[in-house]
Amino acid sequence: MAEVLSTPNNDLVNELLIAKLLEEDMRLLESLRAAEEFQLNEALSISALAAGRFPKKHRSDVLGRTDQDVVLDVFQAEINATKDAVMAQALQHADDTNMATSRQYAQRLAAAEKKARLDAEFAKRLQQAFDDGEDDDEVMRDAESMLGQDEIDIIMASDMNEKGKGKGQAGVPHAGAPVKKETGTESQLPSLQPTCGICMEPFQATHSPVAAARSANSSSRLQFGTHLPCPSSHGYCISCLNGYINSKLDPDGTGIASQSTVVFPIRCPECPIAEWPEGIADALAERVLSEKGMTLWHHQKLLDSLPRYYCPNPRCSALVQVDEDAEDPQASCPSCNSVICVPCRVVWHEDLSCEEYQALPLDERSPEDQEALRLMRAKNWRRCPSCTMIVELTHGCNHITCRCKTEFCFKCGALWDVQPNRCSRVPSCDLWDEQLLLEERERMREEEREQGRPMGAQAGAAVRNQHHLPPPPPYNAQPAPVYNHNPPRVAAGAFDWMDDPDILCTRHWFTANMINSLTCQYCDTKLTSIADLRYHLSRVRWHSVYACCGRFFKREEDLERHLDSVSVRFGGHLDTIRRN
């Protein structure tokens, strides 16, 4: 504080010194003026005597005031005004110095009073522990372990004296840090404070940030905050945690709970979903949110607990308010005005009761259902077990999260167990299903074939050039592919010999080219692996497949000629496959 007050005092001394120098200059000018006036009078007297005239008595006021006299008077008035301003400024600096000294003393007094209150409470607890007969080793603990961090926060946050509350008050160390003795120059140690995971600023950890912020009146102290009960115990200040929760409860800022979106559970901003699925509890929200925020919290939680019903009209899918009256199974969509059957979850079925409609097979209920089911089977889609929405797996694993927040297995449709991160069916499905990926690739090949796009043309041309085969006719001249929608089923494991070196005949050029190039020699389709090639040959619908004794045959007559011969290698024909 001495260094702070030294600068105004030095300025005051400098200004007084300048004023004194100006005053000396004025006195010098007045002396020069008097000397000049005296010399002028002497010169006039001498000239009058020389002319024979008797000089009259000279009076300075007869000569009148000159411009120099006026300038000197104005200069003197300015000097007097400067002296008055310097004196007023000196008085103001003295008042500010006294005010700063008093404020600092009040801060020291308030800090000492808080420390005394803390020591008194600590001594009271120690005395009570001694009276209860506890051992000395158990009793002799520090203030934090004896009182608890929450009570220490309340004592340090309270205002002993409103007038003694100053700026720059040091923050309270977080839980686990030693209690520091307060001095006259209270310094804040940011390294001892936890850091908010959103704004990356230090905050003061406390059990109830809302209560602590309500009792503290200083706006310059650290923000209060808390740690979430997640496995990593992430900490956030009250402002960021409030903003994060409100962005979930009220993303549009309307102050109204959302009826179309499922909000809960509100999870930790940094933890993965599987690591802390339960999310923020009501007890923690009460220690963070305001009264208005808790009202919105409970309102949204009530809406999330109600069953969600979406319009079954495929052109709408809006959220519908369903009446719980069991005698009236109908509901009306507010968006498309469709009449809906609530128990059946479909557009209202005319001339049929709910029992009669549900007794019908799925593919006979309506033309739209038939088309949707056919498309669903062709595209390998699944239904959500909760809201019955159709879900498509375009990439990724079998763990699906529907828009209604239901998590299920895409392969079998069973609910997903979040904690062990696996399917709830016993035995559980694999997280990654290679067979499902092979089905998806084969389905895409069929779609490309139906759209008339050539598949594997470059790979097929390379094989023909290698064996000097005649080129195929132009693609535009090829007839449209004829599909066998019910091809003969191939027994499971019929093509397992493709990766068995004891059975696979690598000397047969047609078979060797198919295995080595991973290209179907029947349709020139380029495959990605032996498993992909095996699946393609067992499921393809646009060409035939002929195989026997570890070989593939281009034509059926080649297979017949082989079957008419005697198999010396195996003593009989092995793994004969004929798919027409």
pTM: 0.35
CA distance 366 to 387: 19
CA distance 516 to 518: 6
Return the higher-pLDDT residue of 549 and 451: 549
DSSP-derived secondary structure letter, 319? B
Give the model's confidence band at 324: pLDDT under 50 very low, under 70 low, under 90 confident, else very high.
low
Q: What does the buried/exposed string (b/e) look like for 8-25 if buried means 16 or more CB atoms within 10 Å of the residue's CB?
A: beeebeebeeebeeeeee
Return the higher-pLDDT residue of 409 and 376: 409
pLDDT given at position 83: 80
In three-state form (DSSP H/G/I as H, E/B as E, the rest C), the secondary structure along 491-524 is CCCCCHHHHCCCCCCCCCHHHHHHHHHCECCCCC
CA distance 411 to 423: 9
CA distance 154 to 214: 11
Mean of the per-residue pLDDT values for the chain?
Answer: 75
What pLDDT digit, counting tens, does each position of 404-440 carry? 888 999 888 889 888 888 888 888 888 877 777 777 7
Return the higher-pLDDT residue of 193 and 3: 193
pLDDT given at position 196: 93
CA distance 47 to 232: 110
What pLDDT digit, counting tens, does each position of 237-286 carry? 999 999 999 898 888 888 888 777 788 889 999 998 888 888 999 999 99
pLDDT given at position 178: 42
CA distance 11 to 501: 101
CB of 309 within 8 A of CB of 267? no
CA atoms in the 13 A half-sphere facing the CB of 193: 24
Give the model's confidence band at 158: pLDDT under 50 very low, under 70 low, under 90 confident, else very high.
low
CA distance 127 to 422: 56
Sign of CA dihedral 250, 251, 254, 260: negative
pLDDT given at position 193: 82
Task: Inform me whether the pLDDT recorded for 136 exceeds 60.
Answer: no
CB of 165 within 8 A of CB of 173? no
Count helices and strands (H / E) in the chain.
17, 15
Q: What are phi and psi of 160, to 5 degrees?
A: -70, -35
Task: Inform me whether the pLDDT recorded for 530 exceeds 50.
Answer: yes
Alpha helix positions (H), 176-290: 209-215, 238-249, 282-286
Give the rounded percent of residues in the chain with a pLDDT score beyond 70. Answer: 75
Per-domain residue ranges for the chain?
Answer: 203-305, 306-378, 380-446, 496-579
pLDDT given at position 2: 42
Residue for token digits 């005698």? 327
Q: Is 366 exposed, middle or buried (0-12, 13-18, 19+ CB in 10 A)?
A: middle
Q: What does the buried/exposed string (b/e) look like for 265-289 if buried means 16 or more CB atoms within 10 Å of the residue's CB?
A: bbbbbebeeeebeebbeeebbebbb
Instruction: Give me 388's structure tokens.
Output: 């019955």
